[in-house]
Amino acid sequence: MTNYDFKAIEKKWQHYWNVNRCHEPDMAQSENKFYNLTMFSYPSGDRLHVGHWYNFAPADTFARFKKMCGYNVFQPQGFDAFGLPAENYAIKHGIHPAISTRQNISRMKEQLIEMGAMFDWRNEINTSSPEYYKWTQWLFLKLMEMGLAYQKKSPVNWCPSCSTVLANEQVNNGECDRCHSQVTKRLLKQWFFKITEYAEELLTCLDSLNWPEKTKHMQRNWIGKSIGSSIQFSVVGHSEVIEVFTTRSDTIFGATYMVLAPEHPFVNSITTTNCLSKVTEYVESTKKLSEIDRTSSDRDKSGVFTGAYAINPLTQQEIPIWISDYVVASYGTGAIMAVPSGDERDFQFATKFNLPIIEVVSADGEIHGNDQCFSDYGIVINSEKYNGMTSEAAKISVDDFLESKGIGGAKVQYKLHDWLISRQRYWGAPIPIIHCDDCGIVPVPFDQIPVLLPDDINLAKTYGQDISPLATHDNFINANCPVCNKPAKRDADTMDTFVCSSWYYLRYPDSHFDDGPFNPDKTAWLPIDQYIGGAEHATMHLLYARFITKALRDGGYLNFDEPFSNLFHQGTITRDGAKMSKSKGNTVSPDTYIEKCGADVFRSYLMFMGPFDEGGDWTDTGIVGIERFIQKSWKLCQKELNSSESAKDLYILHTTIKSVTSDLESKKFNTALSRLMEFVNYFVAKNTISKNIRDQFVQLLAPFMPHAAEELWEMFGNKNSIFNSNWPKCNEQFTIESMIEIAIQVNGKLRGSIEIDKNISKEALLQRVKELENIHKFISGKEIVKEIFVPGRLVNIVIK
RNA sequence: GCCGAGGUGGUGAAAUUGGUAGACGCGCCGGACUCAAAAUCCGGUGACCCUUGGGUCGUGUGGGUUCGAUUCCCACCCUCGGUACCA
């Protein structure tokens, strides 16, 4: 009997898989394809951590299972290699990002190979390589061609610590998603992708996706569709027309004042001289407030009067225009009509500043006074010809009226903003644009990309100076205009790394393709059949990738609507309740466990810990259970074989096949392993096993413990990899039991159980049951009200 | 505040459409093997009561529906995610 020498075994099979190219599907053959993808990772300087394993290893088990089920499985790997950490590391240690990135990638690859996963390395991707970012630049130029990339000056999020602007999605609670510094606003000219053009489709297509509901929900909220009306208010004595968005045009007769965001472009022009100093002071003071302070909703309302008045288009009344920070510039038009009787915030504001309140909607159509605000739908009052209408009906009538006058009408508003993709950093894909004094913004011609990122750059010199490092690089920044050939300047910014990751999955099927971002002959491998990654990307990567896919479809490059038909989020492994991070010093390295018990045991333990989508707090007590399990399995597989198989043996085998198969299908790895343990416990107790049953067991084990299974399979005399064998089939006929145990209840309380023929009739069963001593005790002398029989489960005798 | 997910033994966790709560694992207790220990194997292990058979309670808390509720309904408490005056 051989020992389970995991060190030798794991090395041996990793080598075997590599030499025999076991993980390289025939890419010319997309029939029966299964594109299994985990989110690629950032090549950090740390070793691979438990989080990586928790993403990759169970995903690999799933891929191996699919392969044994007969799929042509493609599981590529790559690196999201551009980004801030490498650049910051360079500033601190003087090591060029290209060098540290290259080192990190090669080290991570070694570790990924040790994991024993079925990665196809032929199509490795490194987003920081020119052959990749050439096509990121191509994507930019294409989007520009399609009118989906544009430059605009607007107030944008600025992270002072990262020294760059950020997209809306990358700001949480007013903090930078990456470094948690307070984000400030700056008025800058930046590049945007027009994701809002796809807002409606991004929203509606969610319904068809097999994604976690929670994630779809988050995307719906992020897109933030809101159906309402746009209404124009003219300003007394000015040519300006203030446009507002409201979901309650039925309450317009109660609009007794207006509020502009302090950043609203009209503030300067409409403010009267006597109000100017107060308005200026207020605008300045809001600038100083942090995003968090400004947006905490329980804050007291503040604001000042501009001195200007607008005309309510339905009442023709003059209403004062105020500014207040409770109106945010970034949503809608940055201006509102305020209806204090119908909106809690307006009500607070009006009460504080003594502005008039007119009741316009009530539940019953009667007048109830202005002591409180009524924000529900109801019956319209105090609104001339609209009186007596329901809110719903009044909205339609008011919208019709506004439309007929050309001053508004029904409108749909989204919370989603265009995606700001410029970054004032070095380690990213340069934006392929040239700024010419005469010709303006000129895209770099397609035959001149990639616009190469220069190697020789002094990062420390520019850091913290609010300029893009590339702006200081003379050879880079100076270029001739492609149109007029006069001296011009390149765009000094690089692209958000989320642009790189928004299309990488398209390139994997042929990552060395030279004539385009992805090989049109290989698009049959798309879209991804199973995508597995963290939930933290819900409103960033996962939204951007969907948008880019749709844009490329409309550009005629793809013929599908959604990149990730099936999405699964692995849970997070925490340590003492906290997310693991290097800065907290609470990371757990898999390496010591690999050294001690091997990759098979470690990956299986991660899967056995609990449900894959829940993660959990890390503890290694219990890993010994998996070690014992493989040891027992190992010995069992070397037992002297028994040529006979009892009905019970076959029952155990086939019920195990059945549950392991369905558990794997739904990624319930923990319960699948439990079933395998039960299987082993049974046959260890029996002390013998048949060849047939033993072989099928090892096949069931293989996706979890690929190295060990290969070794056993070879020991059994097989010449081919176990992953080329067919997944065992459950024969239902063996899973049927003739005798079953039925629970016996009296008044719903368990009083015993009985082993009985499965097909026994209710009458016969009840007769047998009533004769049982413990049951008789409870029912004798009592009136039987009801007898409930759940076939295969229980009987319940209800007595009075 | 709002939205979503979740609270089950000492512990990680299981439980078809409501149908024997705690599978499987860890830990712990007892036993076998051993000079002894480790490893391994066997048995036990929700709490309380009781002499065995058994009984009472028990899935965050309090109600409800039901013959029967971890599962459905109502109210509340706590934890974790998301969101943040979104007009």
In chain B, which nucleotides are within 7 Å of a protein Cβ?
1, 3-5, 12-15, 17, 19-21, 23-27, 40-43, 53-57, 67-69, 80-87
Establish whether the CB of A303 is closer than 7 Å to any nucleic acid atom in strand B: no
Write out the DSSP string of A119-178: -EEEEEEETTSHHHHHHHHHHHHHHHHTT-EEEEEEEEEEETTTTEEE-GGGEETTEETT
Q: How confident is the model at residue A293 (pLDDT cuts 50, 70, 90)?
A: low
Structure token digits, residue A421: 């993709």
Residue with tokens 């890390």: A618
Distances in whole angstroms, Cα of residue A54 to Cα of each of A591, A613, A724: 14, 10, 25
CA–CA dist A351, A371 (Å, integer): 10
Residues A758 and A786: beta-carbon distance below 8 Å: no
Structure token digits, residue A758: 């499965």
Between the CA of A785 and the C1' of B44, what is the distance in angstroms? 40
Residues A112 and A56: beta-carbon distance below 8 Å: yes
CA–CA dist A301, A354 (Å, integer): 13
User: According to the model, what pLDDT value does residue A290 have?
Assistant: 65
The letter for the amino acid at A409 is G
The letter for the amino acid at A165 is V
Q: Please list, in sequence order, all residues whose beta carbon lies within 8 angstroms of the beta carbon of residue A384, skipping any fewer than 6 positions away.
A: A253, A314
**DSSP summary character for residue A452:** P
Q: Over the stretch A555-585, which tens digit does the pLDDT of each residue have?
A: 999 999 999 999 999 999 988 877 777 777 7
Establish whether the CB of A173 is closer than 7 Å to any nucleic acid atom in strand B: yes
ipTM for the complex shown:
0.95
Which candidate, A206, A615, A198, places its Cα nearest to that of A416?
A198
Write out the DSSP string of A279-308: HHHHHHHHHHS-HHHHH-TTSPP--EEEEE
Per-residue pLDDT at A239 exceeds 70: yes
User: According to the model, what pLDDT value does residue A707 have?
Assistant: 98
Q: In what helix (H) or strand (E) does residue A61 lie, and over which residues does it extend?
A: helix A50-68
The letter for the amino acid at A212 is P
Q: Please list, in sequence order, all residues whose beta carbon lies within 8 angstroms of the beta carbon of residue A126, skipping any fewer than 6 positions away.
A: A78, A79, A81, A101, A105, A132
Q: Quick one: three-class SS letters along A502-562?
A: CCHHHHHHHCCCCCCCCCHHHHHHCCECEEECCHHHCCCHHHHHHHHHHHHHHCCCCCCCC
With a pLDDT cut of 70, the percent of chain A lying above it is 99
CA–CA dist A727, A699 (Å, integer): 7
Between the CA of A150 and the C1' of B23, what is the distance in angstroms? 59
- The alpha-helical segments, DSSP class H, found in A246-390 are 267-270, 273-288, 291-295, 344-353
CA–CA dist A27, A73 (Å, integer): 10
Per-residue pLDDT at A773 exceeds 90: no
Mean pLDDT of A373-377: 90
Between the CA of A547 and the C1' of B59, what is the distance in angstroms? 44
Between the CA of A748 and the C1' of B72, what is the distance in angstroms? 17
Looking only at Cα atoms, what is the longest distance across chain A? Answer: 109
Write out the DSSP string of A35-46: EEEEPPB---SS
Establish whether the CB of A186 is closer than 7 Å to any nucleic acid atom in strand B: no
Ramachandran category for residue A739: left, alpha or beta (phi over 0 → left; psi -120 to 50 → alpha)? beta
| Nucleotide minimizing C1' to CA distance for residue A177 | B82
Establish whether the CB of A413 is closer than 7 Å to any nucleic acid atom in strand B: yes
> In the Cβ-directed half-sphere of A757, how many Cα atoms lie within 13 Å?
7
Can you tell me which residue has its alpha carbon closest to the C1' of nucleotide B39? A628
Which candidate, A466, A468, A459, A480, places its Cα nearest to that of A431?
A468
User: According to the model, what pLDDT value does residue A60 have?
Assistant: 97
Strand partners, A571: none
First to last CA, chain A: 64
Which candidate, A76, A121, A126, A138, places its Cα nearest to that of A97?
A126
User: According to the model, what pLDDT value does residue A467 have?
Assistant: 81
**DSSP summary character for residue A593:** H
User: According to the model, what pLDDT value does residue A295 have?
Assistant: 64
Query: What's chain A's length in residues?
Result: 800
Calculate Rg over the CA atoms of chain A. Answer: 34
Within 10 angstroms of residue A347's Cβ, the number of other Cβ atoms is 22
CA–CA dist A277, A271 (Å, integer): 10
Strand partners, A746: A749, A797
Residue with tokens 């100093």: A277
Strand partners, A145: none
- The alpha-helical segments, DSSP class H, found in A70-116 are 84-93, 97-114
User: According to the model, what pLDDT value does residue A589 have?
Assistant: 87
> In the Cβ-directed half-sphere of A309, how many Cα atoms lie within 13 Å?
10
> In the Cβ-directed half-sphere of A340, how many Cα atoms lie within 13 Å?
21
Establish whether the CB of A571 is closer than 7 Å to any nucleic acid atom in strand B: no
User: According to the model, what pLDDT value does residue A606 have?
Assistant: 96
- The alpha-helical segments, DSSP class H, found in A300-369 are 344-353
- Using omega within 30 degrees of 0 as the cis cutoff, is the peptide bond preceding A445 cis? no
Establish whether the CB of A674 is closer than 7 Å to any nucleic acid atom in strand B: yes
Per-residue pLDDT at A298 exceeds 70: no
CA–CA dist A172, A169 (Å, integer): 8
Q: How confident is the model at residue A297 (pLDDT cuts 50, 70, 90)?
A: low
Between the CA of A652 and the C1' of B20, what is the distance in angstroms? 21
Between the CA of A575 and the C1' of B78, what is the distance in angstroms? 21
Establish whether the CB of A685 is closer than 7 Å to any nucleic acid atom in strand B: yes
The letter for the amino acid at A737 is E
User: According to the model, what pLDDT value does residue A201 have?
Assistant: 96
| A195: Cα separation from own chain's centroid | 17
The letter for the amino acid at A786 is K
Between the CA of A759 and the C1' of B71, what is the distance in angstroms? 28
Per-residue pLDDT at A36 exceeds 80: yes
Residue with tokens 């109000």: A275
Establish whether the CB of A648 is closer than 7 Å to any nucleic acid atom in strand B: no
- Using omega within 30 degrees of 0 as the cis cutoff, is the peptide bond preceding A85 cis? no
Between the CA of A608 and the C1' of B20, what is the distance in angstroms? 26
Establish whether the CB of A436 is closer than 7 Å to any nucleic acid atom in strand B: no
Can you tell me which residue has its alpha carbon closest to the C1' of nucleotide B23? A674
The letter for the amino acid at A378 is G
Helix (H, G, I), strand (E, B) or coil at A743: strand
Residues A215 and A209: beta-carbon distance below 8 Å: no
A706-735 residues near strand B (Cβ < 7 Å): none
More confident residue, A364 or A759: A364
CA–CA dist A636, A652 (Å, integer): 15
CA–CA dist A677, A656 (Å, integer): 10
Establish whether the CB of A85 is closer than 7 Å to any nucleic acid atom in strand B: no
Q: Over the stretch A517-532, which tens digit does the pLDDT of each residue have?
A: 999 999 999 999 999 9
Q: Over the stretch A140-199, which tens digit does the pLDDT of each residue have?
A: 999 999 999 999 988 888 888 888 888 888 888 777 888 888 888 888 899 999 999 999
CA–CA dist A336, A789 (Å, integer): 65
Mean pLDDT of A475-498: 96
The letter for the amino acid at A143 is L
Mean pLDDT of A48-73: 95
Q: How confident is the model at residue A534 (pLDDT cuts 50, 70, 90)?
A: very high
Q: Whole-model pTM above 0.80?
A: yes
Establish whether the CB of A399 is closer than 7 Å to any nucleic acid atom in strand B: no
Q: How confident is the model at residue A544 (pLDDT cuts 50, 70, 90)?
A: very high
Structure token digits, residue A180: 């948690």
Q: Over the stretch A384-401, which tens digit does the pLDDT of each residue have?
A: 999 999 999 999 999 999
Between the CA of A667 and the C1' of B7, what is the distance in angstroms? 23
Helix (H, G, I), strand (E, B) or coil at A27: coil
Mean pLDDT for chain A? 92
CA–CA dist A469, A471 (Å, integer): 5
Phi and psi dihedrals of A768, rounded to 5? -60, -40
Between the CA of A712 and the C1' of B60, what is the distance in angstroms? 47
Distances in whole angstroms, Cα of residue A442 to Cα of each of A475, A479, A512: 18, 11, 29
Mean pLDDT of A358-362: 94
Distances in whole angstroms, Cα of residue A273 to Cα of each of A307, A308, A719: 8, 10, 92
Distances in whole angstroms, Cα of residue A134 to Cα of each of A137, A280, A428: 5, 47, 12
